Structure 1
């Protein structure tokens, strides 16, 4: 098969392990520059939507998010499973109501650039979207001033410049900067470890558990015992099990089982993997035992899961949209 769980062997960078596994990538869906006072409301169709201010500032409100969020130059806000949002900017009345209905465009409204905003979404494979959404709060506000986000403002400026300059290779350049954007946002969020809820993101920041998690990621097919994992963490079995549950939100061996299932889903999306060898590689004694565990975790059998994968899912990185059109016009007004 073209992609095997072995692709994680010998890795000590656990965040990269997870991001590769779930095929995380960022899609820039458009942006606008505007002068004066303005406001716009939009529906959120993507589970993980982000809004970034390249220049100026804006105030964001969204359903289920406490209070308005002031977004300064270089800041990024990720909205997790929200249904609508409103953005406002500019110094004074009257407020221009913007209706930006054309997707995949970058719009400079009447040549304005006092406030420049870009938007997009964080995408992943089917398992990845659920994993990311479960690990993030309703809104993540990453400030350009944060220590782990020192290059965020520069990345946003480059995205806007490439998107609007229309040079040869702009699509490729914007896509590359977009990937750095999502990585920077996740790194900065991880740096706020004390505020993270129990889950996989918090687990990746726990120094006491790092060695044990590395063992499970490095060799997921091994029949790990609790005492072996506890020994790697230099903790007693009881202390290790309690700390792991508190940090990860699940027991160590349950985490290992879930990790195996995510590896299995990733392998099955390649289409040509054989179920029997995959089961053995992931530590199951038989194909039937693996199939039972997979159906219990995912809801369908491995064969049905593989059959349901679309070509777009198999080539998710190649099929990401690349919106780069720059338009100079006035918007529709309400």
Structure 2
């Protein structure tokens, strides 16, 4: 066995010990994304997606405004309102207010954006469905770009961008019902327990167990809004009892869990 030390308290067996993990699918599985072509500039809490370019020419940039000013972009070919459950989606809440991506830097984004613009400008069968699906891919590629860029601010985006910590976060996102302990999560990240605990708090801004509880409750609220029963949801997100779940839910959201909570 070859051990590789890459920093204080960080030791992995080999570069191939940990295969790549998917940092985004859990969010797309948990939260629903909807898009509508923007007809007004009324602030309604939704993110805005601007496809920017010269009139009659190809798209050059994508601007995603996750929150804040939604004033019109004069050079926008297409403006869309994007609802990715921003008020409840921790990834959307972790994004900076504005993200700008040059479409030519990402070939897949360039091609998808071209298809999105073509569908938006024409009235063809299945237009609404096509716009939703294409916009979902556009948003996914922008989120992927944001994760690749990283951030210096503590939070979820910084954790997902970290070369090792993101493995522990993905494990929690993908398996919230598992009884994760600090040793398990440190092993997922390839670190000693002490270093993992300190680094997680520094980068993500909270403890692993607090983050896990928050994610479980976030998933639980989504299940409740879809009509699931409180007792079933408590079990499905890893709580030992409905009573423990209800207390934790109240502490986080300020009200007791209920169907369509």
Q: Comparing 290-299 with 218-227, which one deviates more in the overlay?
A: 218-227
Contact 1:51 1:119 in 2 (8 A): yes
What is the CA distance between 1:143 and its match in structure 2?
1.2
What is the CA distance between 1:84 and its match in structure 2?
4.3
Counterpart in the other structure of 1:143: 102
Distance 1:169 1:286, change over 3 A: closer
What is the CA distance between 1:42 and its match in structure 2?
4.4
What is the CA distance between 1:135 and its match in structure 2?
0.9
Counterpart in the other structure of 1:123: 83
For the pair 1:160 / 2:117, whether they are aligned, the reply is yes
Mapped to 2, the partners of 1:46 and 1:214 lie a distance apart of 27
| Equivalences for residues 1-334 of structure 1 within 5 A | 12-29=21-38, 42-56=41-55, 73-88=59-74, 117-125=77-85, 127-129=87-89, 131-146=90-105, 149-193=106-150, 195=151, 197-271=153-227, 273-303=228-258, 306-308=259-261
* Structure (1 or 2) with the larger CA radius of gyration: 1
SS of the aligned residue for 2:103 comes to: coil
What is the CA distance between 1:280 and its match in structure 2?
2.7
More helix, by proportion: 2
What is the CA distance between 1:255 and its match in structure 2?
0.7
Mapped to 1, the partners of 2:145 and 2:241 lie a distance apart of 42
Which ranges in structure 2 are unaligned for 5 or more consecutive residues? 1-19
Contact 1:23 1:128 in 2 (8 A): no
Distance 1:171 1:241, change over 3 A: same
More strand, by proportion: 1
- Cα deviations by residue, 1:86-142 (Å, 9 ceiling, x for unpaired): 5345xxxxxxxxxxxxxxxxxxxxxxxxxx61111221236535x244211121111
Mapped to 2, the partners of 1:266 and 1:174 lie a distance apart of 24
Mapped to 2, the partners of 1:215 and 1:234 lie a distance apart of 13
What is the CA distance between 1:278 and its match in structure 2?
2.3
TM-score (norm 1): 0.64
- Cα deviations by residue, 1:159-202 (Å, 9 ceiling, x for unpaired): 23223332222232222211111112111222212x35322222
Mapped to 2, the partners of 1:180 and 1:226 lie a distance apart of 34
Distance 1:45 1:246, change over 3 A: same
Mapped to 2, the partners of 1:228 and 1:84 lie a distance apart of 43
SS of the aligned residue for 1:117 comes to: strand
TM-score (norm 2): 0.80
RCO greater where, 1 or 2, for CA within 8 Å and sep 6 or more?
A: 1
Which ranges in structure 1 are unaligned for 5 or more consecutive residues? 1-10, 31-40, 58-71, 90-115, 309-334
Aligned length, in residue pairs? 241
SS of the aligned residue for 2:71 comes to: strand
Contact 1:216 1:256 in 2 (8 A): yes
Mapped to 2, the partners of 1:156 and 1:55 lie a distance apart of 14
CA RMSD of aligned residues (A): 2.7
